[in-house]
Amino acid sequence: MVHSGIYIHIPYCKRKCTYCNFHFSTQFNTLKALLEALHTEIMNRALEIPDILVDTIYFGGGTPSVLSPTHIESLLHTVYSRYPVQPCAEITLECNPDDLNREYLQDLHSIGINRLSIGIQSFSDRDLQWMNRAHNANQSKEALTLAAATGFDNISCDLIFGIPGATDTEWLQHLGILYDNGVPHISCYALTVEEMTLLEHRIRHQQMPALSEEDSIRQMLLMFDSMTHHGYEAYEISNYCLPGHRAVHNSNYWKGLPYLGFGPSAHSYYGNTRRWNLSNNQLYSDAVKNGKLYYESETLTRRDRFNEFLMINLRRIEGIRIAELEQDFEEYARDTLLELNRLQSEGLIAVNEESYTLTKEGKLLSDSVIRNLFQI
Ligand code: SF4
Give the closest residue (by CA) to ligand 1 atom 2: 62
Q: Establish if 327 belongs to a structural domain.
A: yes
The C-alpha torsion from 117 through 61 and 127 to 17, rounded to 10°, is -170
Which CATH number does the domain housing residue 60 bear? Answer: 3.20.20.70
Strand partners, 94: 117
Does residue 276 fall inside a structural domain? no
For atom 6 of ligand 1, the residue with the nearest CA is 17
Q: Mean pLDDT of all residues in the chain?
A: 97
Q: What is the mean pLDDT of residues 113-142?
A: 98
Same domain, 6 and 106: yes
Mean pLDDT value across residues 15-22 = 96
Whether the CB of 62 sits within 6 Å of ligand 1 = yes
Q: What are the tens digits of pLDDT across the range 189-238?
A: 999 999 999 999 999 999 999 999 999 999 999 999 999 999 999 999 99
Does residue 326 share a domain with residue 235? no
Q: Is the pLDDT of residue 271 over 90?
A: no
CA angle 270-296-20, nearest 5°? 95
Rounded to whole angstroms, how far apart are CA atoms 63 and 118?
10
Residues 6 or more apart whose CB falls under 8 angstroms from that of 269 comprise 258, 259, 275
Q: What is the pLDDT of residues 301-333, one digit of tens each?
A: 999 999 999 999 999 999 999 999 999 999 999
| Mean pLDDT computed over 69-81 | 98
Note whether residue 288 is domain-resident.
no
* C-alpha triplet 170, 19, 367: angle, nearest 5°: 85
* Separation of CA 280 and ligand 1 centre (Å): 16
- pLDDT tens-digit readout, 141-198: 999 999 999 999 999 999 999 999 999 999 999 999 999 999 999 999 999 999 999 9
Residues 368 and 233 in one domain: no
Q: For 263-283, what is the mean pLDDT? A: 97
CATH number of the domain within which 341 lies: 1.10.10
- What are the beta bridge partners of residue 299? 273
Looking at the CA of residue 20, tell me the nearest atom of ligand 1: 8
Query: What is the CA(139)–ligand 1 centre distance, in A?
Result: 17
Residue 135 lies in a domain: yes
Q: Are residues 364 and 225 in the same domain?
A: no
β-pair type (155-161, 115-121): parallel
For residue 9, the model assigns a pLDDT of 98
Residues 188, 53 within the same domain: yes
* Residue located nearest, by CA, to atom 3 of ligand 1: 62
3-state secondary structure of 103: helix
Confidence at residue 330, expressed as pLDDT on a 0 to 100 scale: 96
The reported pLDDT for the residue numbered 6 is 98
In short, whether 270's Cβ falls inside 6 Å of ligand 1 is no
On whether both 157 and 306 belong to a single domain, the answer is no
Decide if 156 is inside a domain: yes
Find out whether 10 and 60 touch, Cβ atoms under 8 Å: yes
Cβ(25) – ligand 1 distance below 6 Å: no
* Whether residues 318 and 229 fall in one domain: no
287 is a domain residue: no
For residue 331, the model assigns a pLDDT of 96
* Domains of the chain: total: 2
Question: Is there a domain that residue 198 lies in?
Answer: yes
Q: Which of 12, 24, 194 to mutate to test the pocket of ligand 1 (most atoms within 8 A of CB)?
A: 24
Q: What is the mean pLDDT of residues 1-15?
A: 97
Which domain range does residue 320 map to?
302-373
Is the domain of 233 the same as that of 358? no
Give 295-301 contacts, CB < 8 A, sequence gap 24+.
297/273, 298/273, 298/274, 299/272, 299/273, 300/272, 300/273, 300/274
Domain closes at, from 220, 254, 288: 254
Question: pTM of the entire structure?
Answer: 0.96
- Of the candidates 140, 136, 82, the one whose C-alpha atom is nearest the C-alpha of residue 116 is 140
Residue that finishes a domain, picked among 254, 286, 314: 254
248-261 pLDDT, tens digit per residue, is: 999 999 999 999 99
Give the pLDDT mean for 93-118: 98
Q: What angle do CA 6, 280, 66 make, to 5 degrees?
A: 60
Instruction: Check whether residue 153 and residue 11 sit in a common domain.
Output: yes
Is residue 121, in this structure, part of any structural domain at all? yes
